[in-house]
């Protein structure tokens, strides 16, 4: 446990999941062997089962492994740090940039598996990635028909 941290302040920030303290300290749970960011959405563990660390590396050095939900070991501001929902947003943006990409190509670009991406789309958008992809392609085909003189066959590709 790091001694340079104000333990009371850390506990208050953990209890409230205060985003101002995100990345300033890490919470290690002794009973699970996992460490998290203070903003992690997991059920809050009991105070007696946690330690605070100023750095993710310090928690790892003590044998704790990073949480798969909040990704405390990743760089602040990275897509992994921002959470799983950012993968869905990135996927939609990438499809608008290149609607010809299929789901497997998109997964390679995002660095996630197809099954995981499907779960994320269902969780965050309520539909499958394929449904979103078809909707984007349809929207772009309609736009091409309205705004250009391209033949219908070319707009459908």
Structure tokens at 18: 């205060």
The dihedral over CA atoms of 120, 82, 15, 68, expressed in degrees to the nearest 10, equals 60
Q: What is the mean pLDDT of the chain?
A: 84
Tokens of 109: 């670009």
Torsion 145-149-152-153 (CA) sign:
negative
Task: Check pLDDT > 60 for residue 2.
Answer: no
Q: How far apart are CA 10 and CA 6, in angstroms?
A: 6
Query: Is 67 a catalytic site residue?
Result: yes
Given 10, 36, 107, 155, the catalytic residue: 36
pLDDT at 13 over 60: yes
Of 125 and 35, the structure prediction assigns the larger pLDDT to 35
Residue 52: strand pairing partners: 27
The model's pLDDT over 90-141, given as tens digits with 9 standing for 90+, comes to 888 888 888 777 888 888 888 888 998 898 889 888 899 988 888 888 888 8
Q: Alpha carbon of 55 to those of 7, 33, 62, 72, 99: distances in Å?
A: 14, 16, 11, 9, 41
- Pinpoint the alpha helices (H) of 1-156: 7-16, 56-61, 79-82, 85-97, 103-110, 114-125, 129-147, 152-156
**Active-site residue 36, yes or no?**
yes
Q: Please name the fold of domain 84-156.
A: Arc Repressor Mutant, subunit A (1.10.10)
Strand partners, 37: 26
Q: Which residue shows structure tokens 């947003």?
A: 89
- pLDDT band with cut points at 50, 70 and 90 for residue 61: very high
In what helix (H) or strand (E) does residue 37 lie, and over which residues does it extend?
strand 34-37
Q: Where are the domains of the chain?
A: 7-66, 84-156
10 is catalytic: no
To the query of whether residue 40 is one of the catalytic residues in this protein, the response is yes
**Domain spanning 7-66: which CATH class is it, in words?**
alpha beta
């Amino acid at each position: 446990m790091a001694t340079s941290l104000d333990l009371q302040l850390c506990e208050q920030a953990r209890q409230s999941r205060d985003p101002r303290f995100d990345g300033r300290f890490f919470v290690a749970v002794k009973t699970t062997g996992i460490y998290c960011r203070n903003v992690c959405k997991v059920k809050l563990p009991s105070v007696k089962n946690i330690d605070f660390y100023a750095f993710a590396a310090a928690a790892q050095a003590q044998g704790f492994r990073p949480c798969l939900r909040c990704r405390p070991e990743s760089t602040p501001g990275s897509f992994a740090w921002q959470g799983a929902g950012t993968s869905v947003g990135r996927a939609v943006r990438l499809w608008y940039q290149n609607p010809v990409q299929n789901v497997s190509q998109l997964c390679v670009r995002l660095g996630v598996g197809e099954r995981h991406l499907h779960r994320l789309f269902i969780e965050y958008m309520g539909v499958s990635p394929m449904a979103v992809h078809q909707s984007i392609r349809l929207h772009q085909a309609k736009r091409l028909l309205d705004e250009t003189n391209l033949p219908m066959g070319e707009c459908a590709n």
